[in-house]
């Protein structure tokens, strides 16, 4: 068995993992990145619309600043975020955007003079100042007071990831791709690295590190209808949850994006609506202005997704063989705009739908998109429970998003928080030594060898791993979707408990030693079911509506009883997670109030520590 030693091990080589690696390598620390796929094929490359930062360069962003970005982020989170983290993020974002420009990102720039833009399907005029020409520009996104989403057409994630990967190569960071981390190595107090499986040969490896970072992205593949790539099955959360020590923060907080295309659920960017695209129903009529007169199509994602679902429920959806959907109309933006600033959307529609968005409307409906929950960390990115373990990006609950993420804040989070956490890990490494206990390493490896041998021999049963996965996805889609209620959630929990028992009886039908996706799936199917149970059970227990967690039987946001973060852990032998709670923020810079969009039904907090929370905040 190969054993590798390093100062920092980054499990995941998307934007968050690579940005942390860049920070550590810049300080001279040896760094290894592990990735299931080549780094430039990480899911970060699929991000389209842009990255939020309060530069205030374009005329529609004039007057923007970190204070406004902070307020938008807190309101977007429905006061579920850690306000210290949201402040750190908002203050650092402009620095990170300019740093990425220095490294080579071809940000779209301000063009001085008269121009046009669309809002609600109507055309308006704007004038960009001559003195701002050539500075980084921005587009409009949902839930924001200013235009601040910096972009490169609609391929922002692609350009960011390729530029970041160039920096990784420049600094000599070691990358091991097609390698899957299947277990953390720890002694109950200290994390020492991971046991990983070579996806080409099937051989196990041990990676020993002073600091280990989980940056594996989200867990969208526990849902059937998701915009997530096939690699986003929660592998990082799974290995943390398997410790029984590290908590899974806010598992019930999952976001549905308004515009997944039908039937493939591939995302078309919020930039479509930010640039003036409109949502239409079966009659070809707009409807968001009825429900949200102010923000219209650019309310926050949770709000837009709910109104779209409501509109379909009342019979205004477009019938199709794949179920009812709505239309996204960007035709009025014109061919020149679409072919330059929304060119990826054009390609996706042409290739996957045989639809030309220049002349035809795009069939869309909400699809699972993002996980606000993840490995719970403090503001330095250090995971709760195990020294030497860190997390960043969508895999982490650093918790600047709370119960709903604003568009553009995720791509920004990878780079901004990757920068912050990378610096903190570098500080940690400067004064830290660890003893790699050979018995702990040996036992961790042997445990994984035994798991694989049992699967291949079919000792525990012959259940199909794919049938179990489909059952997990069906249970979540049917019971833990955009709208939730006690009966459906209880049914989902009960169903998933039965599925969890089935997941323990999975056997392998393919006997290939090396490349074997069935083995890879089988090794994490119990973990995927645990994630699903954490999502469903935490949602059942949270008897309120907050952000993306919308309970039809509890429509109020209940700050009195539920202004707190869920912490889920999984004890060995249990068939349900253990749920604990903590206050979402130590600092209440912006007291809880109305968001300024969506239906405001609030039971205000009576906690004296939440300053001013007994009265609505001024919007």
For 171-216, what is the HEC assignment? CCCEEEECEEEEEEEECCCEEEEEEEEECCCCCEEEEEEEEEEECC
Cα–Cα distance list, 524 to 144, 237, 452, 461 (Å): 38, 11, 11, 16
Ramachandran angles phi, psi of 334, nearest 5°: 90, 155
Residue 381, Ramachandran bin (φ over 0: left; ψ between -120 and 50: alpha; else beta): left
d(CA 448, CA 450): 5
| Rg of the chain, C-alpha, whole Å | 23
Integer Cα distance of 408 and 406 in angstroms: 6
Quote the pLDDT of residue 619.
Answer: 39
Give residue 560's pLDDT.
Answer: 94
Q: How far apart (Å, rounded) are the C-alpha atoms in residues 351 and 359?
A: 15
Which is nearest to 86 in space by CA: 98, 99, 74, 96?
74
Helix (H, G, I), strand (E, B) or coil at 360: coil
Which residues are CB-contacts of 442 (< 8 A; sequence separation ≥ 6)? none
What positions carry a catalytic annotation? 257, 273
Kindly report the pTM of this predicted structure.
0.95
Pairing of strands 557-558, 602-603: parallel
Q: Which residues are 254's β-sheet partners?
A: 371
Tell me how far apart the alpha carbons of residues 212 and 9 are, in angstroms, rounded to a whole number: 5
Which stretch of DSSP H or E encloses residue 421? Answer: helix 409-430
Asked whether the CA dihedral 323, 329, 331, 334 is positive or negative, the reply is negative
- Mean pLDDT, each 10-residue run in order, the chain (619 residues): 96 98 98 97 94 97 97 97 97 98 97 94 95 97 96 96 97 97 97 97 97 97 96 97 98 97 96 96 97 94 96 97 97 96 96 97 97 97 98 97 96 97 97 92 96 92 96 98 98 98 94 87 97 98 97 96 97 96 93 90 89 46
> Looking at residue 616, what is its pLDDT?
43
Q: How far apart are CA 470 and CA 120, in angstroms?
A: 39
How confident is the model at residue 614, as a pLDDT?
A: 41
Tally of CA atoms within 13 A in the half-sphere of 345 that contains its CB: 36
- Rounded CA-CA distance 210/600 in Å is 47
What's the rounded Cα separation, in Å, for the pair 89 and 104? 22
Structure tokens at 243: 């410790």
Write out the two tokens for 266.
Answer: 């591939």
What is d(CA 385, CA 247) in angstroms, rounded to the nearest whole number? 8
């Amino acid at each position: 068995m190969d054993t590798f030693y390093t100062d920092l091990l980054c499990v995941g080589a998307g934007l968050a993992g690579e940005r942390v690696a860049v920070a550590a390598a810049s300080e001279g620390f040896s760094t290894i990145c592990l990735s299931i796929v080549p780094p430039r094929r990480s899911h970060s490359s699929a991000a389209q619309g842009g990255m939020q930062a309060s530069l205030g360069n374009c005329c529609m962003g004039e007057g923007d600043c970190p204070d406004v970005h902070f307020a938008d982020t807190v309101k977007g989170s429905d006061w579920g975020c850690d306000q210290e983290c949201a402040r750190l993020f908002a203050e650092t974002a402009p620095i990170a955007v300019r740093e990425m420009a220095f490294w080579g990102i071809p940000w779209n720039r301000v063009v001085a003079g008269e121009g046009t833009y669309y809002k609600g399907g109507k055309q308006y005029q704007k004038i960009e100042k001559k003195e701002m020409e050539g500075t980084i520009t921005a587009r409009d996104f949902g839930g924001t007071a200013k235009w601040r989403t910096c972009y490169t057409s609609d391929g922002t994630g692609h350009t960011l990831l390729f530029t970041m990967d160039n920096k990784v190569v420049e600094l000599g960071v070691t990358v091991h791709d097609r390698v899957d981390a299947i277990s953390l190595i720890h002694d109950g107090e200290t994390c020492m690295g991971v046991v990983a499986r070579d996806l080409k040969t099937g051989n196990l490896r041990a990676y020993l590190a002073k600091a280990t970072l989980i940056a594996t992205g989200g867990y969208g593949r526990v849902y059937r209808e998701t915009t997530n790539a096939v690699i986003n099955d929660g592998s990082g959360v799974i290995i943390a949850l398997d410790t029984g020590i590290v908590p899974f923060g806010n598992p019930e907080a999952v976001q549905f994006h308004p515009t997944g295309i039908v039937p493939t659920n591939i995302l078309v960017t919020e930039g479509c609506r930010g640039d003036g695209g409109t949502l239409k129903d079966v009659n070809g009529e707009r409807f968001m202005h009825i429900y949200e007169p102010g923000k219209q199509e650019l309310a926050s994602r949770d709000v837009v997704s709910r109104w779209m679902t409501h509109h379909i429920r009342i019979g205004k959806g477009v019938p199709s063989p794949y179920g009812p959907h709505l239309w996204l109309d960007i035709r009025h933006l014109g061919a020149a705009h679409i072919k330059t600033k929304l060119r990826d959307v054009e390609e996706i529609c042409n290739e996957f739908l045989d639809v030309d968005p220049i002349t035809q409307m795009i069939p869309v409906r909400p699809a699972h998109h993002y996980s606000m929950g993840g490995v719970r960390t403090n503001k330095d990115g250090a995971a709760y429970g195990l020294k030497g373990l860190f997390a960043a990006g969508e895999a982490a609950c650093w918790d600047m998003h709370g119960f709903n993420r604003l568009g553009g804040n995720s791509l920004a989070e990878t780079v901004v928080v990757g920068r912050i956490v990378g610096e903190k890990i570098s500080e940690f490494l400067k004064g830290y030594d660890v003893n790699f206990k050979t018995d702990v390493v040996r036992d961790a490896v042997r445990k994984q060898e035994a798991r694989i041998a049992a699967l291949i021999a079919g000792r525990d049963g012959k259940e199909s791993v794919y049938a179990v996965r489909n059952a997990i996805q069906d249970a979540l889609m049917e019971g833990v979707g955009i709208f939730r209620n006690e009966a459906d959630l209880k049914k989902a929990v009960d169903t998933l408990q039965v599925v969890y028992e089935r997941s323990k009886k999975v056997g392998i039908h393919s006997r290939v030693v090396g490349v074997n996706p069935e083995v890879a799936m089988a090794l994490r199917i119990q973990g995927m079911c645990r994630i699903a149970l954490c999502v469903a059970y935490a949602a059942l227990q949270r008897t309120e509506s907050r952000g993306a967690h919308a309970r039809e039987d509890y429509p109020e946001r209940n700050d009195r009883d539920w202004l707190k973060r869920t912490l889920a852990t999984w004890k060995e032998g249990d068939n349900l997670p253990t749920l604990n709670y903590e206050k979402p923020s130590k600092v209440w810079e912006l007291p809880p109030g109305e968001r300024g969009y969506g239906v405001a039904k609030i039971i205000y907090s009576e906690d004296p520590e939440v300053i001013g929370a007994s009265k609505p905040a001024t919007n």
